[in-house]
């Protein structure tokens, strides 16, 4: 139900800085690798402020975690100055992956490292396959599409019409329904409501006191940027389930019946935290029967321990979810492009690696997950003002899907599309 970003440390330095040349950055990148490998004391390569923020024990634990997953760290693959003084995009070579991120040097000699961010791990493509071929080869069902939002030019596409479970990406329909309601004058972004729809994490609002006043703008921002489930359910309650379902249909979704009735996150947790018989009955029920089942759950709170236990066992009834194809997601993105507030909200957490995101004038994002389900979807605007959509989906009912691998493939796809 949420997206978790792999990060090594936060960027700590301010800009602009005193000039350092590429050789300084390359030398310090090699030093970072030596520290990660345990061959160099951290204080010889990093600033005191960085070490204060990321103590050596924590740093080495993270380095060990990465090596444990991706094999031995072999060295520096590439250093590309970012255009900002003392900063560069870097690529580090592991046995099984290329780690990509950013490095920042301090302002004065000896130019120690003041910032280091590892954002993505791309699998080493030993077979020389295209990203589309790599995604097609993943176990389960997958889809990918990068093309103009208006249906024009397509860079690559695979199963773009295939309906998949999308997890929290369904919240795009909630945002779009809210945007339409505000445009019609029925509501305003500054309207205040009181929290009374608690769900489970992800997010923060599930821990806030009932009755806390929050604006619709705050709810929407938390729903999109950190996939807050309580914020989502609160908005569905304010708009009405029927309004969000109507937006699903109005967007041009090819198979709205697959997602009706549109579940709240609390209802999904109650159902999936329950027994198999109840889930089977819900999955097989007609629409009217499903609505009756959800009505009977109105006062039922999800059992967090039961949900965690259920999800710990792997994918669970992926036919009880929210569904869309890449084409469907493009259509709801298109309905959001004329709302500047909604666009600002989508751009709060862009997720995409900086080295590929900076090529666009605008990047917005929403993703979703649960065991066996991953969806990454970006709304993009190029430097000429043309809107694009990049979306990837992966469902596997037989095993948990690899989020880091899929994100790495997403960044590799963006570089492949740019000819990098």
The pLDDT of residue 115 is 96
The pLDDT of residue 282 is 97
The pLDDT of residue 16 is 38
Q: Which residues pair with 388 in a beta bridge?
A: 148, 380
For the chain, 420 residues long, the average pLDDT of each consecutive 10-residue run is 38 41 93 96 96 95 94 95 90 94 92 93 86 95 97 95 98 98 98 97 95 98 98 98 98 97 98 95 97 95 93 95 98 98 97 82 96 98 96 97 92 81
Give me the phi and psi of 295, to 5 degrees please. Answer: -60, -35
Give me the phi and psi of 171, to 5 degrees please. Answer: -65, -15
What lies within 8 Å, CB to CB, of 236 at 6+ separation is 174, 197, 244, 262, 264
Residues in the chain: 420
Give the integer Cα–Cα distance in Å for 420 and 186: 47
Query: What are the tens digits of pLDDT across the range 22-79?
Result: 899 999 999 999 999 999 999 999 999 999 999 999 999 999 999 999 999 999 999 9
What lies within 8 Å, CB to CB, of 89 at 6+ separation is 78, 79, 80, 82, 100, 101, 102, 354, 355
Q: Are 174 and 232 in contact (CB under 8 A)?
A: yes
Give the integer Cα–Cα distance in Å for 220 and 203: 12
The pLDDT of residue 20 is 62
In angstroms, what CA-CA distances link 182 with 191, 242, 344, 345, 348?
Answer: 10, 16, 15, 15, 20
Query: What are the tens digits of pLDDT across the range 176-221?
Result: 999 999 999 999 999 999 999 999 988 999 999 999 999 999 999 9
The pLDDT of residue 361 is 94
The pLDDT of residue 83 is 83
**Structure pTM?**
0.85
Give the integer Cα–Cα distance in Å for 86 and 78: 16
In angstroms, what CA-CA distances link 90 with 69, 82, 242, 278?
Answer: 19, 9, 48, 50
What lies within 8 Å, CB to CB, of 211 at 6+ separation is 194, 195, 196
């Amino acid at each position: 139900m949420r997206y978790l970003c792999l990060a090594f440390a936060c960027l700590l330095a301010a800009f602009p800085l005193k000039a350092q040349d590429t050789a300084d950055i390359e030398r310090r990148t090699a030093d970072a690798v030596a520290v990660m490998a345990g061959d160099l004391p951290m204080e010889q390569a990093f600033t005191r402020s960085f070490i204060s923020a990321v103590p050596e024990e924590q740093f080495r634990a993270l380095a060990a975690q990465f090596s444990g997953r991706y094999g031995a760290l072999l060295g520096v693959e590439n250093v590309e100055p970012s255009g900002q003084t003392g900063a560069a995009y870097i690529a580090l070579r592991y046995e099984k992956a290329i780690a990509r991120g950013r490095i920042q040097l301090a302002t004065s000699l000896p130019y120690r490292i003041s910032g280091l961010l590892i954002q993505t791990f791309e699998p080493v493509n030993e077979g020389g396959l295209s990203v589309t071929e790599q995604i097609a080869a993943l176990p389960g069902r997958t889809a990918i599409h990068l093309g103009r939002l208006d249906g024009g030019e397509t860079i690559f596409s695979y199963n773009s019409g295939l309906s998949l479970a999308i997890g929290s990406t369904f919240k795009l329909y909630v945002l779009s329904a809210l945007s339409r309601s505000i445009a019609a004058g029925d509501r305003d972004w500054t309207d205040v409501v009181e929290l009374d729809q608690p769900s489970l994490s992800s997010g923060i609002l599930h821990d806030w006191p009932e009755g806390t006043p929050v604006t619709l703008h705050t709810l929407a921002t938390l729903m999109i940027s950190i996939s807050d489930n309580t914020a989502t359910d609160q908005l569905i309650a304010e708009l009405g389930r029927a309004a969000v379902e109507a937006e699903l249909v109005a967007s041009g979704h090819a198979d709205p019946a697959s997602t009706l009735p549109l579940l709240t996150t609390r209802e999904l947790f109650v159902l999936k935290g329950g027994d198999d018989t109840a889930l089977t009955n819900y999955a097989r029920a007609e629409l009217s029967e499903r609505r009756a089942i959800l009505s009977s759950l109105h006062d039922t709170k999800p059992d967090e321990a039961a949900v965690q236990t259920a999800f710990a066992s792997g994918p669970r009834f992926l036919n009880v979810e929210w569904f869309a194809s890449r084409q469907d997601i493009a259509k709801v993105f298109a309905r959001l492009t004329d709302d500047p507030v909604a666009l600002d909200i989508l751009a709060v957490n862009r997720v995409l690696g900086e080295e590929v995101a900076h090529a666009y004038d605008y990047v917005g994002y929403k993703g979703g997950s649960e065991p066996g389900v991953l969806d990454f979807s970006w709304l993009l605007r190029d430097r000429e003002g043309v809107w694009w959509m990049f979306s990837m989906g992966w469902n596997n009912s037989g095993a948990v899907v690899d989020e880091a691998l899929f994100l790495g493939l997403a960044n590799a796809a963006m570089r492949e599309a740019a000819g990098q």
